[in-house]
Amino acid sequence: MAERLLEIDNLRVEYHTDDGVVTAVEDLQLHVEKGQTVGLVGETGAGKTTTALSIMRLVPAPPGRIVSGSVHFHGEDLLHKRLDEIKKIRGNKISMIFQDPMTSLNPVLTIGFQIEEAVVLHQGLDARAARARAGEMLRLVGIPPEREGDYPHEFSGGMRQRVGIAMALSCNPELLIADEPTTALDVTIQAQVLELMKRLRQQFSTSMLLITHDLGVVAEVCDQVAIMYAGTIVEYADVNTLFTNPRHPYTRGLFGSIPSLDEEVTRLNPIKGLMPDPTALPSGCKFHPRCPMAGEICKTRVPQTTNLGQGHSVHCMIYEGLVPGYEE
Amino acid sequence: MRTETDDIIQSSDEHPGELPEKLSPDEHPPLTPAPELSKRRGQWGEVWRRLRKNRTAMFGLAVVLLIIFTAIFADVIAPYSFRVQNLDRIAEAPSRDHLLGTDDLGRDILSRIIFGARVSLQVGFIAVSISIILGGTLGAVAGYYGGRMDNVIMRVMDVLLAIPSILLAIAIVSAFGGGIVNVMIAVGISYIPVYARIVKASFISIKEQEFIEAARAVGARDGRIIVRHILPNSLAPIIVQGTLGVATAILSAAGLSFIGLGIQPPTPEWGAMLSSGRHLIRSAWHVATFPGLAIMLTIFALNLLGDGLRDALDPRLKQ
Amino acid sequence: MHRYILRRLFLLIPVMFGVSLVVFTIMFFTPGDPAKLMLGERAPEAEVAALRAQMGLDDPFPVQFGRFIFNAVRGDLGRSLVTRRPVFQELYARFPATLQLAAAGVLVAVVMGIPIGILSATRQYSAFDAASMGIALVGVSMPNFWQGMMMILLFSVSLGVFPSSGYGTLRHLIMPALTIGTSTAAIITRMTRSSMLEVVRQDYIRTARAKGLSERVVINRHALKNALIPIVTVIGLQFGYLLGGAVLTESIFSWPGVGRLMVDAIRQKDYPVVQGGVLLLALTFSVVNLGVDILYAYIDPRIKAQYK
């Protein structure tokens, strides 16, 4: 078994707002093995970004608060490290690519400077070496190094995301967290950026946690997939298993809502209902109000992890034998 | 953000240069009406609910109401007449008879402050009303019709904005004379551009919204669209600015009176009272001190209320 | 950029023309006969009439205004009715004192306002934040002429540390500068705080933190420059307020500037001086705002790009 680079256990994150306490992440278990790309998949509001920010200790507080759990990186719990130690990891060992390239770069600093900054900080390079490094990173992401003196507003969204990637990889991190890196981009640009990330990840042998709501992206890039619903992981498996043999009713629902080119489908089967109100999450299994298979017990009991073998695990009463399952 | 306390800040993205208008929307819009307010029923109930939760704003409101109450019932509350002089008791320090002492003509300072509330509040509210009516109309026309009309109006506003407002007020009053009416007009005129710009900005942002399109599509006329649809939705920034503006107007009026251009004796006006205490500063500190405190308390309360209103009307701006 | 500056300088012309028109109109309709004022109430009618004709006071409004503009462009703002000296000279002699006072006021405001505002924002909801916001609100609520008197009462009358009037040394400057700068300091403090709070919520600040930068670097390098954009605007606008406030502050501290000259002129109905003073201060204000807009472009590359 490969080394576990990142291991999240029982993570619970809350936001305290005027309208009540929002539990964004609850009892979350997730791990990333060295060299792997793990996809974290879920709808908007499922807590994916909060999970990512928790790893970086960047959950905005207030209103956010990491209530309990642990995030082990190389066997050390990041949640119990001092902030100055965390700062040595941020941008160096673990770095992050953000969702919106239009707002994630500082408008009043040149892109070259924004890349150099991290290199100077973590690798102790002098100005000249940092500049060379920034130029090299720009070239790697397909931006002419001469443009390092330009400001973010002089680039398109796709180019800015390339800058974001260059910035994130500049210190050769062990783990790259990419929070919906292509969502804000045009479809044609999406593919290019994704391809670039895939290539550079291999070149830098960086492990990656890729947050997305797009199963197509997952199929293309990921080794492992974690399906997230209302703050918790409901199913975890390798890509092949998950795509060929999804077990959780929610995962099945997600696949049911994708139009297939191979089969003739007369209508899509979207999951009925909406994401639950985060201030008033359902009791028991959080998916039960929308679950076609739900039984009485799902309303009260929180499902436990069931291991289905080969690293495939699922949180559902069906596989605990408490509710009748699918006929297969 | 922006913004604060007085018109000077409110209009900060709207100042005479044209640059700020061209900033991208992720900059710092000071006061645009909250879109979520626009369609919701009972929006004022919601505003009141939010305002009520803000303790400093409620304190401000309470003090403002108290001052208004004092102004209305001055005759009943004041221990003495504001005009009766007692030349035997000139510039006396505070005592049991005269809680805040007497002024240079032996008049009771407390009573004059109480009656002075009347003058200051009147000047403040009426001057701001003048600014809002004239500035608001100009801003509405400029914002709604745009084009050449907008250009002409805003260039005139640029001219007025180039003259610091207290100077404009001084120029007007020094030409046409002091007195309460002239002070109101002078102060009112000097703040016209502030409201013109605010109203124009909110008109522009609102008129592009879909419900205005919808109203136009069903054949509503310009006048009806302005009065029924746009105006209610641009009230929020006007109310906030107006509240802060009353404070500024009171300060300006007091300043005019202080240099002898404003409200003339024997009308008790806080700025004029201060002025009369000026040459007594070494012998009778209280003559200048208390009217100043009265001004400060009033302005302070109006600012608290205005800040609270801003947060309540536009929750997005609240941190 | 140079073209932009030139264009903005060019735009000053119509604005100043407009300002002149407004001020001239106000003064034109002022009751009272300047000729009579110059010669005194008891001067013979014929003499007054002769002077009126000589000064062109009987000409129609457009002619008088045209003459005023024509002369003003060449630096001739007429003569004081009281001293008979050219208004330009009177203003010229007093202007440095006013600029000195306004600049000192801005300095006080910036030096106090920006650091306190940043500290407040980074310690939002702390006791420091609450205290500085409370004090700032008191600062904007105080009439500055009253504040000046209270400072004289405390520092001159009671403690005797600073002179209550006069001009020339730093000791003379301190109280007037504090008086005129306090409310601006308070406004800049509030503005800096809210602007910083707005900026630190932005995504690029999160990006900066995600790089592992220290909080000091995040604030000073990444947040401050963005937050400064609206603050600089306010400083420019406040300069106008300071110039206006100079009228009151100067008369309290007997500061020999344009403001006090104007107050004296108003008392003596010396309208050419009042008119010239308003024009001079408006021009100063406009030039300062032009400077602010240019400064703006240096802070924000997006704006600079628009005017390349």
ipTM: 0.87
Q: How far is A297 from chain C (nearest CA, A)?
A: 42
C-alpha–C-alpha distance, residues C295 and C99, integer Å: 19
- Neighboring chains of C (3 or more beta-carbon pairs < 8 A): A, B
| Cis ω for the linkage preceding A62 (within 30 of 0) | yes
Average of per-residue pLDDT across A96-106: 90
Q: How far is B252 from chain C (nearest CA, A)?
A: 9
Tell me which chain B residues have a C-beta less than 8 angstroms from the C-beta of C272. Answer: none
Digitized pLDDT (tens) for each residue of chain B, 319 residues in all: 333 333 333 333 333 333 333 333 333 334 444 444 444 456 778 888 888 888 899 999 999 999 999 999 988 888 888 887 878 877 778 888 888 888 888 888 899 999 999 999 999 999 999 999 999 999 988 988 888 999 999 999 999 989 988 899 988 988 888 888 999 999 999 999 999 998 888 888 887 777 777 887 887 788 788 777 787 777 888 888 999 999 999 999 999 988 888 888 788 889 888 888 888 888 888 888 999 999 999 999 999 999 899 888 875 544 3
**Which residues, numbered 180 to 239 in chain C, qualify as contacts with chain A under a Cβ-Cβ cut-off of 8 Å?**
202-204, 206-214, 221-222, 225-226
**Of B6, B163, B271, which is closest to C140 when you measure between CB atoms?**
B6
* Mean pLDDT for all residues in chain A: 86
Closest chain A CA to residue C302? A153
Yes or no, beta carbons of B17 and C138 under 8 Å apart: no
C229 at interface of B, judged by CB pairs closer than 8 A: yes
Q: How far is B18 from chain C (nearest CA, A)?
A: 9
Assigned CATH for B56-313: 1.10.3720.10
Q: Which residues contact C3 (CB under 8 A, 6 or more apart)?
A: C307
Residue C241: predicted pLDDT: 84
Yes or no, beta carbons of C211 and A117 under 8 Å apart: yes
Question: Which is it for the CA torsion B261, B266, B271, B276, positive or negative?
Answer: positive
Element at A116 (helix H, strand E):
helix A111-123
Question: Which is it for the CA torsion B133, B139, B145, B150, positive or negative?
Answer: positive
Closest chain B CA to residue C297? B19
C126 at interface of A, judged by CB pairs closer than 8 A: no
Q: Which residues contact C157 (CB under 8 A, 6 or more apart)?
A: B281, B282, B285, C164
C-alpha–C-alpha distance, residues B38 and B277, integer Å: 50
pLDDT in tens, A175-229: 999 998 888 888 888 888 888 888 888 888 899 999 988 888 888 889 999 999 9
Say if CB B254 and CB B116 are below 8 A apart. Answer: no
Closest chain A CA to residue C299? A108
Residue B315: predicted pLDDT: 59
List the single range of A56-60, A282-286, B109-113, C303-307 with lowest mean pLDDT: C303-307
Query: A31: which strand partners?
Result: A7
**Between vectors from CA C34 to CA C29 and to CA C39, what angle results, nearest 5°?**
165
**Of C124, C142, C251, which is closest to B296 when you measure between CB atoms?**
C142
Residue B32: predicted pLDDT: 41
State whether residue A145 is helix, strand or coil.
Answer: helix
| DSSP-derived secondary structure for chain C | -HHHHHHHHHHHHHHHHHHHHHHHHHHHT-SS-HHHHHH-TTS-HHHHHHHHHHHTTTS-HHHHHHHHHHHHHTT---B-TTT-SBHHHHHHHHHHHHHHHHHHHHHHHHHHHHHHHHHHHHTTTSHHHHHHHHHHHHHHHS-HHHHHHHHIIIIIIIS--S-SS--SSHHHHHHHHHHHHHHHHHHHHHHHHHHHHHHHTSHHHHHHHHTT--HHHIIIIIIHHHHHHHHHHHHHHHHHHHHHHHHHHHHHTT--SHHHHHHHHHHTT-HHHHHHHHHHHHHHHHHHHHHHHHHHHHH-HHHHHHT-
Yes or no, beta carbons of C233 and B12 under 8 Å apart: yes
Yes or no, beta carbons of C146 and B274 under 8 Å apart: yes
Closest chain C CA to residue A105? C204
C264 at interface of B, judged by CB pairs closer than 8 A: no
Band (pLDDT 50/70/90 cuts) for residue A60 is: confident
A91 at interface of C, judged by CB pairs closer than 8 A: yes
Yes or no, beta carbons of C146 and B160 under 8 Å apart: no
B280 at interface of C, judged by CB pairs closer than 8 A: no
Yes or no, beta carbons of B303 and C153 under 8 Å apart: no
pLDDT in tens, B15-55: 333 333 333 333 333 444 444 444 445 677 888 888 888 88
pLDDT in tens, A241-279: 888 888 888 888 888 766 555 555 555 566 777 778 777
C138 at interface of B, judged by CB pairs closer than 8 A: yes
State whether residue A299 is helix, strand or coil.
Answer: helix
Our measurement of the distance from residue A156's CA atom to the centroid of its chain's CA atoms, rounded to an integer in Å, reads 24
C-alpha–C-alpha distance, residues A239 and A233, integer Å: 15
C-alpha–C-alpha distance, residues B24 and A24, integer Å: 32
pTM recorded for the entire structure: 0.84
C-alpha–C-alpha distance, residues A246 and A265, integer Å: 19
Digitized pLDDT (tens) for each residue of chain C, 308 residues in all: 778 788 888 888 999 999 999 999 988 887 777 787 777 778 888 888 888 888 888 888 899 999 999 999 898 998 888 888 999 999 999 999 999 999 999 999 999 999 999 999 999 889 999 999 999 999 999 998 999 999 999 998 889 888 888 888 899 999 999 999 999 999 999 999 999 998 988 999 999 999 999 889 999 999 998 998 889 888 988 888 888 888 889 989 999 999 999 999 988 888 889 999 999 999 999 999 888 888 887 888 877 776 65
Tell me which chain C residues have a C-beta less than 8 angstroms from the C-beta of B5. Answer: 137, 140, 186-187, 190
Strands A37-41, A64-73: parallel, antiparallel or unpaired by DSSP? unpaired
Tell me which chain C residues have a C-beta less than 8 angstroms from the C-beta of A104. Answer: 203-204, 206-207
Tell me which chain B residues have a C-beta less than 8 angstroms from the C-beta of C271. Answer: 175
C-alpha–C-alpha distance, residues C258 and C77, integer Å: 14
Q: Which residues contact C246 (CB under 8 A, 6 or more apart)?
A: C98, C101, C102, C180, C255, C257, C258, C259, C281
Q: How far is C46 from chain B (nearest CA, A)?
A: 26
- Neighboring chains of A (3 or more beta-carbon pairs < 8 A): C
Yes or no, beta carbons of A167 and C211 under 8 Å apart: yes
Give the residue from B245, B265, B298, B267 showing the smallest Cα distance to B70: B298
**Of A58, A108, A121, which is closest to C213 when you measure between CB atoms?**
A121
Residue C24: predicted pLDDT: 92
Residue B59: predicted pLDDT: 95
**Of A96, A108, A109, which is closest to C210 when you measure between CB atoms?**
A96
Our measurement of the distance from residue A217's CA atom to the centroid of its chain's CA atoms, rounded to an integer in Å, reads 12
